[in-house]
Amino acid sequence: MTTPAEVRTREPKPDESAVLVVDNLHVAFPVLGGGSVNAVRGLSYQLRRGEALGIVGESGSGKSVSSLALMGLLPRTTRVTGSVRLDGQELLGMHDREASALRGKKISMIFQEPLSALTPVYTVGAQVSEALRVHNDISKEKALDRAVELLDLVGIPNPRDRAKAFPHEFSGGMRQRVMIAMAIANDPDVIIADEPTTALDVTIQAQILDVLQTARRETGAAVIMITHDLGVVAGLADRVLVMYAGRPVELGTTDEVYYAPRMPYTLGLLGSIPRLDASGRSALTPIEGTPPSLANLPSGCPFRPRCPLAIDICAETEPALDPVRGASHRAACHRKDEIETNGWTVTDVFPVPDLGIAEIERVPREERPAALAVEGLVKHYPLMKGVAFKRQVGTVQAVDGVDFDIREGETLGLVGESGCGKTTTLLQILELVEPQAGTIRIAGTDTRDLRGGPARKALRRDLQVVFQDPQASLDPRLPVGDVLAEPMRTHGYHKKQIDARVKELLQLVGLEPSHAGRYPQEFSGGQRQRVGIARALALEPKLVVLDEPVSALDVSIRAGVINLLMQLRAELSLSYLFVAHDLSVVRVIADRVAVMYLGRIVEIGVVDSVYASPSHPYTQALLSAIPIPDPDKERTRERIVLQGDLPSPANPPSGCRFRTRCQRFLTLTEGEKQLCIDRYPPLIPMGPDHSAACHYAEPVAVI
Amino acid sequence: MTVPSQELIGTVTAESGIEGTAALDETAVPSRGRIIFRRFIVQKSALFGLVLLVVLVLLAYVGPIIGKWDYSQPDYNSFLVTPNSSHWFGTDGTGTDLFAATMRGAQKSIIIGLLVAVLATSMAAIVGATAGYFGRWIDTVLMWIVNLLLVIPSFLIIAILSPRYHNNLTLFVVLLGMFIWQITARIVRGQTLSLREREYVLAAKYMGVSGPRIIARHILPNLASLLIIDATVNVSVAVLTETGLSFFGFGVQPPDVSLGTLIEAAQTSATTQPWLFLFPAGFLVLLLLAVNLIGQGLRDAFDPSAGVAV
C-alpha cells in the first residue's frame, strides 16, 4: 500500500509556454485532537499562456481549496506543500507582503458569491479603481477613468453614472460583472474563476460566460474555471481536469475527456447529468454511494466503494495519473487500458435502472381526471412604505393570471428564473385558501369551497410537498423516524400502523429501516432529500409538489434522486408539480412544461414539442442559455443572450412583459412593435398541446 | 401501497453504504422521547447531577425526622457551639440547631428555586413562541402585556401583596415567577420569528399539523438550549431574590427560615463562626451544582450535534 504522500503524479518537464506550474500540491487542514483533513492530495498541472483549464469536481473534491492555496488565501494553520510557480517564481512559502504584490496584478480571482465579494459601503467605481491604485502609481482621477472603461468593457450600461452606485444597487449578474472588471484591471496572466455563475440564473449565466470570454480575449490571460457543471466547461475550456477526493483523476483536452473518458468517475459524472438534448423521458445513470470523508479515506482508490469496475488491486494501491494514449490524456484508474481497448461507455459501466411505467399513463391524457387545475390564479402583494403610518406605494404582481392543469400520473415542470413567480404559485396552491382571483381545484375540490379546518386537513392528505434544501426541510432536533411519523400522527394513524409504515417508507426510498432513530445530520445530503421524499409520501398523496428538489444536491447524487422520483411515480401513480429553474432536469422528468416570466405563463405544452420547437422568444433564450455537456455542440451553438435583468414585478412593462428584453422585438418594424407595447398576447396554439403567448410566435430550434 | 421492487432497493440502498436489504423487523421505531432519555442517562455528569438532586431533596425532607432538634425549638444550653455529636452542624447565637435550620431552609429554597425556574421558563417559552409563531394581533397583545410587566416595579407589587398573603408559599412562588420571565419571552419570540420561516415548519404546516403542535414539536425543541440555560440560571435567581426579599421583610419570614435567610444572617460572622455560613452556603452550592449538571445533560441530550455517544 502506498500512502498518498508517496503517490506522485508527474507531468512531463514544464514546457516553455507554461505560465503556471503546479507540482505535487498537498493541502491539509489539521483537526483539533490530532489527524487532519487532506483536502488536496498531490495535484499537478500546467497552465499554458492564454489557455482555459476547467477544473471539475463535486463539493469536497478539493477544487476550490487548491486554487485558494495558489492565491495564498488559506488560513495560517493549513499545511500546504509542493510547488506552485508563476512565471518561474515560487508562490508557496512566499511572505504575505510579496504575495499581495502579485495577487490582483499577475493572478486574480473571481469568487462565487458576488453578493459578499464587494464591500457594501464603497461605490463600485471606488472599488474597481482601488484594485488599480494598489498596484499602480496613478492618480485618483486617472484610476476612476480607467475603472469606467473597465466597467464598460464588462457590459455595464452607463458606466460613468453606475460607477457612483453602491453594490446593493446592482443585481447579482451586474455585481459579477464588476468582479470580473476588478479581476482584469491589471491585465493579469492568470484569472481563477471559482464557480462564477453558480449563484446566477441561466440567462444571466450566459451573459457572464460571454463577458468572461471577452475578458480573456482582451487580456490574453490564462483562465482556470472551477465548476461542478460539466456543461459550463464544455464550451469554454481547452483542457479539463477532473478531481475526486482531493486527487486529479482525469486530465485531458476537452474533447478527450468528454468523448473518451477513461476513469469510471468521469464516465459516471457525464452519464448522471440530465441533458437538454436527451430524447424524452429517460433514466439517468447514477453513481451510487457518496464521496468519501477526507478525514478518513479508505486505502486504495478513493472511488472504489462506488465503482462498478473495482477489482482487488483497487483496494490496495491508489492509481497514479498516468497517460492513456499520447501524453496529453491522463487518467487515474487501474483498468483504464481495459476501458480504452473495449471502448466502454457510460451504459457499459454503470447499470441503467428500469424505471417502469404507471398503469394510468396508458390511458390517454384527456380521459384522466385532473389532479390539480389552476385557472386565472392571481397573487398581488401590496408594497408598503413608512414606519409609523404605512401607506401602499405599489403592487407586486407576483402571479398574474396563471392557468394550467395536471392530470393523474402526469408531471408538469414549472420553470422560470428567480422572481418569475413560480414559488408564489406553488405556495398559493399549498396554502389551500381562496386565491385573490381565479380558482385552484385539487382532485376536483375547489379550495374556495373548503369550510373550516377538518375539510382542509382532509384535502392535505392528497397534496404533499418536497422542499429544495434537504438541510432546512428536516427538523434538526427530530429523529428521522419521528419526521416520517409526524404526518401520520397528525392524521390519526394508530401507533402500530405508524411504526410499520415508517420502516416501509425508509425502505421505499432506499434507506435502512434501522436508521429511524438517527438524526437528520447523520445523513448525507442525498439521503436527507430521500427522507424528505419519504415524508411527502407517508399519507399516500395523489399530487406531490416538488420545489427544486435536486438543485441543492451534488451532480452524482442528483441522478439517483431523480431516478427515485421517476420510479416512485411509476409505482405509486403519482402526479408531480415539478418547480425548477433547471430546464435540463425538467426535460428528463416531466411530461409537460410551463415556462413562466414575470407572473405569467409564456409557453406551455408537451416537453418534446416545447424543447424541439420553442416558439416564445423567452423559451428560446432560456433553452439556448443552458450549456450542454458536449464540446462540439457547445462550440457551434448560436447562443441567444438576453439583454439586461428581469424587470421588477412591481412595475412590469406595458403590453407584453417580455418585450424589454426580447430578441424578436428588436427585429420587428415600428408598426409591429406597437402591438407588443399595447397588448399582452394571449396563448396561441402552436401545435397539439403546445401554445405560446407571443404575437409573433414562431418555432426556432435552439438545441 | 406496494412493496418496492427488488431493483429499486438494490439501486438506492447503496447510497446509504449498506449492501443488500434488511427485512422489516419487529423492533419498534424509537420515539424522540426515548432517544433523548437514553442520550441523557448515558452522560455520567448528568446522571451524577440527578442523583445529587435526589439525595439533597431526600436529605431536606428526611433530615429533620432523623435529627434530634427542631428548627423552632432552640437549645438554651448551647449557644454558638461548633459542630458535635449532638448538634451536627453546630448552633447559632439563639441556640437554634443549625442542621435542623439548614434542612428546613433547604426545603423552602428547593421548592422556591425549582418551581419558580420551571414556572418562569415555561411562561417565557409559551408566551414568546405563541407570539412569534402566530404573529398579528396575538403577537401585539402578548408583547403589550410583556412590556407592561417589564415596566411595573416588581418589588413594589410583591411588597404590597406579601403581607396580605403571609406564609402562602404558592402565591410567593407565582409572584416571583411572574417577574422574571419577560426578557426571556422576548428572546424566544425573536428566535421563533426566524424559526417559523424554516422549511421544516412550513412542511409541518402543509401536512396539516396544528399551530400549538408545531410549537411543541418543532419550535421549542430547537430552542431547548436557550430554555434550559435560562431555567438553570433562574433557579439561582429565584433563591437569591427570595433572600433579598426576606431581608426587607417579605417572603419567608422568621421564625421560618430559608437557605437565603440563613446565609444572610451568617454573613457577618462568616470569619469568626464559619460553620454558620459554610453549611447553608454549601447546601446551596450543591443544589445549584446539581441543577446545572442536569441542565447541561438535558441540553446535550436535546442537541444531536453535541456528540453524545449512545
pLDDT, position B8: 34
pLDDT tens-digit readout, A431-471: 888 888 888 888 888 888 877 778 888 888 888 899 888 88
CATH superfamily placement of domain A359-597 = P-loop containing nucleotide triphosphate hydrolases (3.40.50.300)
- DSSP for A16-41 reads TTEEEEEEEEEEEEE-TTS-EEEEEE
pLDDT, position B256: 79
Using a CB-CB cut-off of 8 Å, the residues of chain A touching B27 are: 514
pLDDT tens-digit readout, A619-652: 998 888 888 888 888 888 888 888 777 788 888 8
| Of A400 and B73, more confident | A400
> Measured between CA atoms, how close is B134 to chain A, in angstroms?
15
Count of alpha carbons within 13 angstroms of residue A372, beta-carbon side: 31
Cβ neighbours, 10 Å, residue A66: 30
Start-to-end C-alpha separation, chain B? 34
CB spacing of B199 vs A513 below 8 angstroms: no
Question: Which three three-digit cell numbers place residue A446?
Answer: 375547489
Instruction: Please report the domains of chain B, with CATH numbers, ordered by start residue.
Output: 102-306 (1.10.3720.10)
Question: Does residue A156 have a pLDDT over 60?
Answer: yes
d(CA A483, CA A472): 13
CATH, domain A1-106+186-352, list 3.40.50.9100, 3.30.1360.120, 3.40.50.300, 3.40.630.30: 3.40.50.300
pLDDT, position B52: 93
pLDDT, position A101: 87
Read off the pTM: 0.81
Sheet containing strand A437-442, strands side by side: A391-407, A370-385, A437-442, A445-446
pLDDT, position A667: 87
Specify burial of residue B154 (Cβ count, 10 A radius: 0-12, 13-18, 19+): middle
Average pLDDT value over all residues in chain A: 85
Region A168-195: mean pLDDT is: 87
CB interface of A with B, residues 551-590, below 8 Å: 557, 560, 563-564, 567, 571-572
CB spacing of B1 vs A504 below 8 angstroms: yes
- Answer for the pair B226, B220: CB distance below 8 angstroms, yes or no: no
Does A359-597 match A1-106+186-352 at the fold level?
yes
d(CA A556, CA A535): 23
CB spacing of B1 vs A572 below 8 angstroms: yes
Question: Does residue A8 have a pLDDT over 50?
Answer: no
Residue ranges for chain B with pLDDT beneath 50: 1-26
Lowest-confidence segment of A265-269, A554-558, A559-563, B42-46 by average pLDDT: A554-558
Across A31-40, A97-106, A270-279, B92-101, the highest mean pLDDT is recorded for: A97-106
pLDDT, position B3: 37
| Of B32 and A479, more confident | A479
Domain residue limits, chain A: 1-106+186-352, 359-597, 603-692
pLDDT, position A544: 92
Residue A463, beta-bridge partner list: A543
CB interface of A with B, residues 402-441, below 8 Å: 430
pLDDT, position B49: 92
Question: Does residue A338 have a pLDDT over 80?
Answer: yes
Interface probe for A, chosen from B12, B36, B42, B201 (most Cβ of A below 10 Å), is B12
Which ipTM was obtained for this model? 0.75
Residue A605's pLDDT band (cuts 50, 70, 90): very high
pLDDT, position A224: 92
Interface probe for B, chosen from A423, A504, A507 (most Cβ of B below 10 Å), is A507
> Measured between CA atoms, how close is B255 to chain A, in angstroms?
48
- Answer for the pair A352, A283: CB distance below 8 angstroms, yes or no: yes
- DSSP for B2-21 reads PPPPHHHHHHHHGGGT--S-
Residue of A nearest to B1 (CA): A572
Q: Tell me which H or E stretch contains A526.
A: helix A525-537
| Cis peptide upstream of residue A120 (ω within 30 degrees of 0) | no
pLDDT, position B17: 36
Question: Does residue A169 have a pLDDT over 80?
Answer: yes
Sheet containing strand A222-227, strands side by side: A107-110, A190-194, A222-227, A52-56, A239-244, A247-253, A329-331, A322-325
